[in-house]
Amino acid sequence: MSADAEVNGSPPPVPEGLVMGKDGMAVLVDVLIRRGFTVVGPTVRDGAIVLARLLSADELPYGWGVELEAGRYRLRERTDGAAFANAAGPQSWKSFLHPARVREWSADRVEGEVVFTAEPADPPRYAFLGVRPCDLRAIAVQDRVLTGGTYRDPGYEGRRFGTLLIVVECTEPGATCFCVSMGTGPAAGPGYDLVLTEVVDVHGHRFWVRSGSEEGAEILAELPARPADPDTRETARAGVTAAADRMGRTMPEADLRELMAGTLDAPRWDDVAGRCLTCGNCTMVCPTCFCTTTEDVTDLTGDHAERWRLWDSCFDLDFSHLHGGPVRASTRSRYRQWMTHKLGTWYDQFGSSGCVGCGRCIVWCPVGIDITEEAAALHDWTRSGAPAPETEGE
């Protein structure tokens, strides 16, 4: 034991990690619940792998994979019993950290006076089990947006504070994944408490586990695990490396920020506008989109009122409404706003791309619009000798 470990009582670091069997996953969930966490992870429900509260590791999607394409999502059975050999589902972790609907306050008329009551802030302490590397980056992006700068979101901070992140590295990407293009996976980046890599082979079903924080190390010390053997480590690393070579999609090899800024007049925006329904599905499933609006409601007596904060979308006609009408009235302008912000001007605001390559916007678009295909078309237009863009007002 190191001197630091002896002083603070924390487990010593295990650089090469540990290996636990499938039975260790059940212990992990039990340990998390015993420590007071609300465990959220993937489970099969309503024909999809969704994120929900877990009371047992038996609820994990063992033996289920997914088939993805533009506008298409299907479950498929696996023969190897893997729990995490599936790509991102319709939800992201923002559903818990930045919920779609939150009551901010209520007001009641009491003896002729209006009494306001703030919504109590008592969020559960979450343990997110099964966070993908792309979603780990998405959480970091939302952290910068909602807890950094001048306008901080105390509700997000309250839910985010103390959340334990257990990441699962990807070994089987979906047909719409492009995390390699965005530098977000399939290997885990920094910011996790624990990271798992699932291995299923002739030697059994097991997980290579490493800690990334003091609390993660404490939890790891409670699991039925053994020192990681070289074979498991190398098999796990090889699986992640192979996943990087099997991405279903890719972004064009270009500076996306410059590409977006230089193609504002491209005819491709008219092409995509002819297909886009402006339904906003892409913004709802995106793990980094954060825009909200407020809605005030009252009962029929007028004695009780509430203010709710709701997710909003830049595809909504009223999103840019000012006195006299919306700023972006056309489908072309609204799709262009979303994509150029996500891939371009997000850098100006928050210092990174707003896209993490999860592919959800492709899968859950009802007409199968593919952001990588649109970016590639814009890139081809610039290489074809397109005229220099002019400033356009819409």
Say what the pTM is.
0.91
What is the sign, positive or negative, of the torsion defined by CA atoms of 375, 379, 380, 381? Answer: positive
Determine the pLDDT at residue 148.
84
CA atoms within 13 Å, Cβ hemisphere of 212:
15
Determine the pLDDT at residue 157.
94
**What is the spatial distance between Cα 65 and Cα 174, in angstroms, rounded to a whole number?**
10
Q: Tokens at residue 309, please?
A: 């904060």
Q: What share of the chain is helix, strand, coil (3-state, %, to 5)?
A: 35, 25, 45
**What is the spatial distance between Cα 186 and Cα 173, in angstroms, rounded to a whole number?**
8
Write b or e for each residue in 27-53: b if 16 or more Cβ atoms lie within 10 A of its Cβ, otherwise e. Answer: bbbebbeeeebbbbbbbbeeebbbbbe
CA atoms within 13 Å, Cβ hemisphere of 56:
4
Q: Tokens at residue 71, please?
A: 């506008």
3-class DSSP state of 181: helix
User: Smallest Cα–Cα separation from 237: which of 266, 272, 276, 210?
Assistant: 210
User: Smallest Cα–Cα separation from 13: which of 171, 201, 212?
Assistant: 212
User: Smallest Cα–Cα separation from 73: which of 338, 376, 281?
Assistant: 281
Determine the pLDDT at residue 319.
87
Q: Tokens at residue 32, please?
A: 């998390």
Determine the pLDDT at residue 355.
97
| Other residues' Cβ atoms within 10 Å of the Cβ of residue 202 | 4
Q: pLDDT tens track of the chain, all 394 residues?
A: 333 443 445 565 566 899 999 999 999 999 999 999 999 999 999 999 999 999 999 999 999 999 999 999 999 999 999 999 998 889 999 999 999 999 999 999 998 899 999 988 888 999 999 999 999 999 999 999 999 878 899 999 999 998 999 999 999 999 999 999 999 999 999 999 999 999 999 999 999 999 999 999 999 999 999 999 999 999 999 999 999 999 999 999 999 999 999 999 999 999 999 999 999 999 999 999 999 999 999 999 989 999 999 999 999 988 888 888 888 889 999 999 999 999 999 999 999 999 999 999 999 999 999 999 999 999 999 988 766 545 444 4
Determine the pLDDT at residue 385.
73
- DSSP one-letter string for 107-154: EEEETTEEEEEEPP-----EEEEEE-HHHHHHHHHHHHHHHSSSS--H
Beta bridge partners, 198, equal: 207
**What is the spatial distance between Cα 203 and Cα 200, in angstroms, rounded to a whole number?**
7
